C-alpha cells in the first residue's frame, strides 16, 4: 500500500506536468493573449458585418456563394490590417454554412448568388 505522503507527492507531480502541457498547448493555439487569434489548421476565419466570427474549412473556398461573398468584400475594400470581413450579417452567413454543410446543389445556390449580385448592384449605384 502507498503511503499518504507518496500519494500527495505523486499528485503534485502530475498536476505540475498537466499544467506544463496545458501551457504548451495553449501557447500553440493562441498567439499572444488574444483569444481572437485562435487558428485551426485547414480552416480560415471570416467575420460578418455584425462582428460574428466564423471558422470555416478551406474546402468552402470552392463554393460559389463563398467566392461571391469574398469578391464582394474585395471590391468594397478588404481591411489591410484587420480581420477578413464579408459583407453579410450573421443570419445570412449561418444559412450559407448550413447549405454548404448539407451539400446542396447549384440550383439551391442560384438564389443566394442572385441576392449577392443584386446587393452588389444596389450598393454600387
Q: Which residues contact 48 (CB under 8 A, 6 or more apart)?
A: 54, 85, 86, 88, 89, 90, 92, 93
- pTM of the complete model beyond 0.75: no
Question: What's the chain's average pLDDT?
Answer: 74
How confident is the model over 39-89, as pLDDT tens digits? 678 888 989 989 899 999 999 998 888 998 888 888 876 666 678 888 888
Amino acid at each position: 500500500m502507498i503511503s499518504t505522503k507518496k500519494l500527495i507527492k505523486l499528485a503534485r507531480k502530475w498536476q505540475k506536468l498537466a499544467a506544463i502541457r496545458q501551457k504548451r498547448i495553449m501557447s500553440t493555439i493562441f498567439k499572444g493573449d488574444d483569444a481572437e487569434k485562435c487558428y485551426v489548421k485547414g480552416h480560415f476565419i471570416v467575420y460578418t458585418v455584425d462582428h460574428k466570427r466564423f471558422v470555416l474549412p478551406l474546402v468552402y473556398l470552392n463554393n460559389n456563394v463563398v467566392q461571391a461573398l469574398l469578391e464582394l468584400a474585395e471590391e468594397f475594400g478588404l481591411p489591410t490590417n484587420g480581420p477578413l470581413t464579408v459583407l453579410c450579417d450573421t443570419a445570412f452567413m449561418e444559412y450559407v454554412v448550413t447549405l454548404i454543410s448539407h451539400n446542396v446543389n447549384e440550383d439551391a445556390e442560384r438564389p443566394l448568388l442572385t441576392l449577392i449580385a443584386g446587393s452588389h448592384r444596389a450598393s454600387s449605384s
